[in-house]
A and B are shown apart, each in its own frame.
Chain A
Amino acid sequence: MSSRVGVVVFPGSNCEQDMLEAMRLVGGEPELLWHGDATVNGVDAVIVPGGFAHGDYLRPGAIARFSPVMSAVAEFAAAGGPVVGICNGFQVLTEAGLLPGALQKNAGLKFLCAPTQLRVETTNSVLTRAADKGAVLSIPINHFEGNYTCDAETLAQLRDEDRIVLRYVVNPNGSVDDIAGVCNEGRNVVGLMPHPERSTSELLGSTDGLPLLRSLLSA
C-alpha cells in the first residue's frame, strides 16, 4: 500500500498546501518535493499540483518541465510509479512529453472557475481505480488554458486504448471530445484539469474528489 506522496513545488505553484491537506485526509503521508532537487525522495506516488509555475511564461509548463525535479519524475514514471498532474500540473506533464496532447486557451477566452460534472470513463488508471466506472463526480475547474487538444491520430489512439480517463458532462472549455483527463500507455501517469483536492469536504460543496485521491494511495 502506497502512502508517501510527493507534491512537487515550482515557483508559482499554489495548490500544494491544499493537496497536502487533502492527502492527509485520505490517510496518505504527503511531503513537498522542491523543483530544484533532482529527486522524488523515495515517495510512492507523485502529484504535480496546480498553479502558475514560472508565471506560465512562454507557455504553461514550458519552463517547469526543465526543472531538475522533472527528470526524477520522468524516471519515476518510466519505472511505473504513479504520477498525477492536476491543472497546471497536467500542462507540465504534456510539455514534458509524459502525456500526449496540449492544453490551449479556453474556447471563449474566459478564465473558468466553476464546479463541473465529470464522468469516470475508465477505472483502469492510477487515479480512478477506486472510483466507479460511469460515476459522475462534481469537481471544480480553475483555469484559463484547459482546452485539451491533440491530433486526430492521437485522439483515435486514446479512444481505442481506453485512455480517456475523465470526460466533462457539459464541455466548459472546448476540449476535444469533452476530455477532462487522460493517461499514458502504462496508465500510471494521469493528467486532469479539474481539482479533486478541492472536493474533499461537504464544506467545500463536494466530497467527490476523495475516491480519486484514494485511488492514488492504493496504486
Chain B
Amino acid sequence: MIFSVHVEVRLRPGIADPQGSTIERAMPTLGFAGVSGVRVGKSIRFEIDAADEAAARSEAEDLCRRFLTNPVIEDAIVELEPAGVAS
C-alpha cells in the first residue's frame, strides 16, 4: 500500500533560529506589527510503500531520525495518509 508522507522539519525549542529572527525583524518595516515567534523549517514530501499505516509511520520516523533531521538541533512532525486521497 502506498502512503503519501509529509514531514515538517523544525528547529527544536530553544535552538536559535537566525533565519526566523531576521524575518521577524524585517516585518515592522513592511507594516506587519505584532508578529513574533517566527521559526523557519523545512517541508519534505514523499511516498512510502508499506504493509499498513503503522509500518509506514515507523519507517518514516526512522528516516527522519537517521537522515532527514539532525537530532542535535531539529525534530520532525510526520503526517501520512493513503496515496490518492484528495487533500
* Residues of A bordering B, CB below 8 Å: 58-59, 62, 66, 94-95, 100-102, 104-109, 147, 149-151, 174
Smallest distance from the beta carbon of A140 to chain B beta carbons, Å?
21
Which B residues lie within 8 Å of A108 (CB)?
A: 18
Which A residues lie within 8 Å of B19 (CB)?
A: 105, 109
Smallest distance from the beta carbon of B13 to chain A beta carbons, Å?
12
Cβ–Cβ contact A106 & B16, under 8 A: no
Chain B contact residues (Cβ within 8 angstroms of A): what range?
10 to 19
Partner of A149, one of B15, B22, B67, B68: B15
Which B residues lie within 8 Å of A66 (CB)?
A: 67
Contact of B27 with A by CB under 8 A: no
Contact of B73 with A by CB under 8 A: yes
Which B residues lie within 8 Å of A107 (CB)?
A: 16, 18
Smallest distance from the beta carbon of B27 to chain A beta carbons, Å?
15
Which A residues lie within 8 Å of B22 (CB)?
A: 109
Knowing A106-B18, A108-B18, A109-B18 touch, does A58 contact B72 (C-beta < 8 A)? Answer: no
Which A residues lie within 8 Å of B68 (CB)?
A: 58
Q: Which of B1-57 contact A (CB under 8 A)?
A: 15-16, 18-19, 22
